[in-house]
Amino acid sequence: MQAPGGEEGPGAGLPQPAQGGAAGAAQPPAEPAAAAPDNGGPQEGEQWEEEEYADARMEDRGVSDVDEGEGAAEGMALGEGGTAADGGQPEAPDKKRKAEDEPVREPAEETLADRMANRNCMQLGCSHYRRRAKIVTPCCNMVYWCRHCHNQVAHDEEPDPKKRHQLDRKAVREVVCGCCGLKQPKSKSCAVCGVTFGRYSCMECSFYDDDLSKDCFHCKDCGICRVGGRDNFFHCATCNCCYAQSLRDSHVCIENSMHANCPVCCEFLFDSVKPINIMLCGHTIHQECLRSLAVHHTFTCPVCMKSIMSAESMRGVWDELDREVAHTPMPAEYANIRVEILCNDCQAHSNIKFHVLGHKCAECGSYNTRRV
C-alpha cells in the first residue's frame, strides 16, 4: 500500500457583497447628478442605452420588477378581477418602485479581487510544489520555497556534520510573498497585494500548494498534511498513521510502525514523500527499496525476516530451491548430519538434514529458516 506523502483550507476568503433586503425595506440610494451633455441634449441612442443599463442592473440584483412573494399575491388578485388589459385593476405604481429602490450590488469589485487573488496560480514554486509564498526558516533565517529545498541545502549538501539540520515545519512563523516580495507573518494570502499563497493551505503545517490534483488533506491524528484524498485513507490508531482503505481489515498492526526509519535507506518514513509499502508482516519500507531487495533475490523483511510475499507467490522460489538441492548432493561426511531449524514464516521447529543451500521447513515448505 502506498501511504500518503507530502504536505486545509482554501485560500483566503473574500468579503461577500451585502445582500439587498426585502423589497421596500432598504432606503433608496441618492440619485447621482446627471452630467451635462456637451451638445446640450441627449445623443441618439442614449435613452436606449440607459434603459438597457437599467435592465442589466436589475438582473445583477437578482430581482424582477416585483418581489416573488408580491408577484404571487398579485397574480391571485388579477385572477379574480382579470388582468389590467382585460379591465382589471392596474398594478400599483409603488410596487414597481420597491424593486427600483433596492441598493444595487456591484459584483465588479469581487471579480477583481478574485482575479488578484488567483494571479500567477501554478506559475510559481519549486520542483516540489507549485505555490506563491516562500517560507522564512527560523533555524537559519533563510528564505526557501519549501522545507525540502531547505533540507536539501542545509542537510544533504552541508559538508560540515555539525551544521546539518532539518526544518521543523510547524516552527515557521513568517513567509515572503512570491508576487510582491513582502515579508509578513504566516497567513493564507498576502497582506498587500492580496494574492492567495496556495489554493490549498494549512497554517498548522505552514504548507501551501496550488496543485489540487494531489487531493491534499490534514490528518489531525498524524499532525501533518498528506496527499491522496481524505476519503481514500483511514488513520490506524495502533500503527499511528494513515493507511489506504483497502488495508482497514487486512493489515497487521504494529505499534507506531510508520514512526521508524526505512530498514534499507534509513530515511524516516512518517513524513517521507516517497511511496511506502506495508509488507505482509506489518513493517514498512520504501517502495523503491523493496524493489531493490527483490532485484538482489532477497525476499525477506529486513526487520523480522518474514517473507515479503504470500506463500503462493513464494512457491516458485521454493520449488527452484528444491531442484537445486536435489542436484547438489552433500559430501559423505555431511550426508547424515541433522540440524534444528526455526521457520521465520510459520514459527515451527524442525529437525532436518543439513544442506549448504538451505533448510526446508517440514511444516510449510518454506526455505526461510534459521538454525537454532
pLDDT tens sequence across 226-285 = 999 999 999 999 999 999 999 999 999 999 999 999 999 999 999 888 999 999 999 999
| Residue 110, SS3 per DSSP | helix
* 343 and 247 within one domain: no
Q: Is 79 contained in some domain?
A: no
Q: Are residues 2 and 116 in the same domain?
A: yes
Q: Are 187 and 180 in contact, with CB atoms under 8 Å apart?
A: no
Q: Indicate if 246 and 346 belong to the same structural domain.
A: no
Q: Are residues 244 and 362 in the same domain?
A: no
For residue 146, give every residue at least 6 positions away whose Cβ sits within 8 Å of its Cβ, in sequence order, or none.
Answer: 7, 125, 126, 128, 129, 131, 135
The helix (H) or strand (E) run that includes residue 20 is none
Considering the domain boundaries, does residue 56 fall inside one? no
Q: Are residues 239 and 335 in the same domain?
A: no
Same domain, 338 and 216: no
Whether 211 and 315 map to the same domain: the answer is no
Average pLDDT, the chain: 79
Instruction: Report how far residue 185's alpha carbon sits from residue 174's, in angstroms, rounded to the nearest whole number.
Output: 4
**Shared domain check, 230 and 111:** yes
In a domain, 258, yes or no: no
**Residue 14: inside a domain:** no
Reply yes or no on whether the pLDDT at 295 is more than 80: yes
Task: Identify whether residues 336 and 201 lie together within a single domain.
Answer: no
Are residues 245 and 106 both part of a single domain? yes
The band of 107, judged by pLDDT with boundaries at 50, 70 and 90, is low
d(CA 196, CA 189): 4
For residue 106, what pLDDT band results from cuts at 50, 70 and 90? Answer: low
Measured between alpha carbons, how far apart are the two ends of the chain, in Å? 34
Q: Are residues 244 and 318 in the same domain?
A: no
Domain assignment present for residue 73? The answer is no
Among candidate residues 251, 267, 297, the one where a domain is terminated: 251
* 49-98 per-position pLDDT tens digit: 333 433 433 333 333 333 333 333 333 332 333 333 344 444 455 555 55
**What CATH number corresponds to the domain at position 341?**
2.20.28.10
Q: What distance in Å separates the CA atoms of residue 74 and residue 77, rounded to the nearest whole number? A: 5
Please report whether residue 44 resides in a domain: no
How many independent structural domains does the chain possess? Answer: 2
pLDDT > 90: percent of the chain: 67
Question: Domain span at residue 216?
Answer: 1-9+101-251
Q: What is the pLDDT of residue 110?
A: 58
194 within domain boundaries: yes
Give the pLDDT score at 76. Answer: 31
The CA R_g of the chain, rounded to the nearest whole Å, is 36
- Distance CA(73)–CA(234), nearest Å, equals 54
**Which of 251, 268, 289 delimits the end of a domain?**
251
Please, which pLDDT band fits residue 104 given cuts at 50, 70 and 90?
Answer: low
Q: How many other C-beta atoms lie within 10 A of the C-beta of residue 100?
A: 15
Please identify, among 204, 225, 251, the residue that sits at the C-terminal boundary of a domain: 251
Q: Are residues 143 and 216 in the same domain?
A: yes
3-state secondary structure of 236: strand
Q: Which three cell numbers stand for residue 307?
A: 517473507
pLDDT of amino acid 42 = 38
Does residue 340 lie in a domain region? yes
